[in-house]
């Protein structure tokens, strides 16, 4: 098996894992966060979650996991570049797309303030409620589509 094939398999796996993670975020913890804010319990969430987040080093672990997918996708793309592997490009674009959309919508700030226990304005809470699940669902679909783009050209 060639190095390019091994890297492609790692790319498919990493991209698919992030797609699944984001889908499960929408169904589980993301929905819980939204529920807590929507039912007026943001202060309760902010008293408990930041402690868990700090003690488990969740933010850097999450960031490294997302970055690892991007790095694998970049290495796979470089390894397959001479074959004209355009189908590998979407997997490289997923994280930059996520960061751009979350940043431009102002969601990044609202999410970070909520999950780190900082105070939020009513507008920030409203933005969080309006965007949390829809943005993460779009992110999950983008990663899933990128994974399919990796697989489809190689199907028999």
- Model pLDDT for residues 71-80, shown as the tens digit of each residue: 999 999 999 8
Give the whole-angstrom CA distance, residue 40 versus residue 13.
39
Taking only the tens place, the pLDDT of each residue in 12-27 is 999 999 999 999 999 9
Which stretches within 39-154 are classed as H helix?
A: 42-55, 58-80, 89-104, 107-115, 122-151
How far is Cα 52 from Cα 58, in angstroms, rounded to an integer? 8
**Tens digits of residue pLDDT in 80-117:** 887 878 899 999 999 999 999 999 999 999 999 999 99
Position 153 pLDDT exceeds 90: no
Sole residue written with tokens 């850097």: 60
In this structure, how many other beta carbons lie within 10 angstroms of the beta carbon of residue 106?
A: 14
Residue 6's SS3 state is helix
């Amino acid at each position: 098996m060639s190095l390019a094939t091994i890297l492609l398999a790692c790319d498919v796996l990493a991209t698919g894992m992030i797609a699944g993670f984001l889908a499960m975020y929408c169904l589980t913890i993301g929905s819980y966060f939204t529920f807590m804010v929507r039912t007026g319990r943001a202060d309760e969430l902010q008293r408990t979650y930041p402690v868990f987040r700090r003690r488990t080093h969740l933010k850097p672990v999450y960031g490294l996991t997302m970055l690892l997918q991007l790095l694998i996708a970049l290495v796979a793309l470089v390894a397959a570049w001479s074959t004209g592997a355009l189908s590998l490009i979407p997997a490289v674009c997923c994280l930059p797309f996520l960061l751009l959309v979350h940043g431009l919508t102002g969601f990044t700030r609202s999410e970070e303030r909520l999950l780190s226990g900082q105070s939020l304005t009513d507008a920030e809470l409203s933005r969080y409620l309006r965007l949390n699940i829809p943005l993460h669902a779009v992110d999950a679909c983008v990663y899933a589509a990128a994974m399919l783009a990796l697989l489809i050209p190689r199907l028999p």
